[in-house]
Structure formats: C-alpha cells, structure tokens
Amino acid sequence: MKRCVIVGGAQIKRYDISKSYLREDDYMIYCDCGLKHRDGLGRDADLIIGDFDSYDNPHSDTETIVLPTVKDDTDTVYAMKEALSRGFDDFLFLGVFGGRFDQTLSNLSMLLKLFKLGKTALAVDDRGETEIFGSKKVYIEDKYRFFSVIAYASDIKGVNIRNARYPLENADVTVDWSFGVSNEVLPGKTAEVWADEGTPVLIKIFR
C-alpha cells in the first residue's frame, strides 16, 4: 500500500529536507493553504482538501473536496480521516508544525490518533522529526543532534534509553515534567528507546 503524504499550511523553509523524505509513489494530499508548497516540494496533488478560507480554490482537474468553513474538524484532520477511509496505513505529515500553536497541538493529536489505530505516522519539519511510539523499540542514529522523549496525553512508565548520553532504565516520566528533553546519541552508536506503557512523543532534531 502506498504512503499518504498530508501537506499543511505551516511554514516550510527547508524544502530540501522535506523533499528528501518523499517517495516516488506517495499519494499527495494538499490541505487548503498547504497548496503554497506544491512548487517547493515539486509534487502535484492527488487530492486537494480545504474550505479555502486561506487559499484560493485552484479549480483544477485534480480531485478536490471543498469543506464548509464552519465544521468540527480542521482541514488537516479531515484529510487524515479521508485518507483512513481510503485504506492508508502509513502517513507522512509536512507543513503541520511550527505555525499557530493551537494548530500544532491539534496536528500532534493526529499522530496520537493514528498510533492508537495501529498506523504508522511521522511528521517532518525544518528542525526535525516527530513520532509517537510505545513498547516497540525505536532506534536513533547519531546523525541527529538531539532527541527528546516527552510524555504526551498520559504518563509514561518503564522508559528505557540505551547508547545515549543520558541513559534510562525502567523510569517513569510524567506529563507535567520536562524530563527527557535534549538527549544525545553516543558518537558512533545507535540509541535504543522504548516504553512499557504510555504514549511518548519522540522528537529527533537535525544537526
């Protein structure tokens, strides 16, 4: 199954970074003013979704879903739900972090929703990658400058971090504590991170 890429309207300055994550067969959904990123990403839309309150409807031959301006879901959340209804299990989000903070939090909640549904989801911005993980071990190469493990939506229990400057073994991290920010992979090593319980956010910062 092809991966679905959902492009939001948050700022993208480093198109070279975002483009490096794209695959030739990705299914591209542009959300409203996310359309401003088409040229920078060098990819046409397979589907356009939006209420077009922040960008003009291009009225092209591309399949377009026009949403009402008064609705329960943001354009980006609607795009995620539409992609789920079309059978996608793997998601990449671009242009969804770094704009309005309320929209950033809403978009982070999409990663949580997809995680709970057993889907794969990664968000990439100019500074790094963001994903939600659980008991499945994740690996972090030393090409990243920093990585952070943050409790989101619930406390994390049984956090383990190996091959890092600040290792952990069976630690508990609560949502009201910033413990876990700005760790570093040991030079020449690959860090290993997992948790027994909870929905930790893993953020990897580029060098």
pLDDT tens, position by position, 86-104: 999 999 999 999 878 998 9
Mean pLDDT for the chain? 95
pLDDT given at position 135: 85
Checking if the pLDDT of 137 tops 90, the result is yes
Structure confidence at residue 56 (pLDDT):
87
Going by C-alpha positions, the residue among 71, 82, 105 that lies closest to residue 30 is 82
Q: What is the pLDDT of residue 53?
A: 87
What CA–CA distance (Å, rounded) separates 53 from 55? 6
Is residue 87 within 8 Å of 107, Cβ to Cβ? no
Could you tell me the pLDDT band of residue 177, with boundaries at 50, 70 and 90? confident
| Per-position DSSP letters for the chain, written without gaps between them | -PPEEEE-SS----HHHHHHT--TTPEEEEEGGGGGGHHHHT---SEEEE--SSS-----SS-EEEPPSS-SS-HHHHHHHHHHHTT--EEEEES-SSS-HHHHHHHHHHHHHHHHTT-EEEEE-SSEEEEE--SS-EEEETTEEEEEEEE-SS-EEEEEEESBSS-EEEEEE-TT--TT-SB-BPTT-EEEEEEEES-EEEEEEE-
φ, ψ dihedrals at 80, nearest 5° = -60, -45
Query: Is the model's pLDDT at 128 over the cut of 90?
Result: yes
pLDDT at residue 176 is higher than 80: yes
* Of the listed ranges 25-34, 90-99, 173-182, the one predicted with least confidence: 173-182
pLDDT of residue 99: 78
Domains annotated for the chain, with CATH where assigned, are 4-126 (3.40.50.10240), 138-206 (2.60.120.320)
Tens of pLDDT along 55-92?
889 999 999 999 999 888 999 999 999 999 999 999 99
Provide the whole-model pTM. 0.94
Q: How many Å apart are CA 24 and CA 22, to the nearest integer?
A: 7
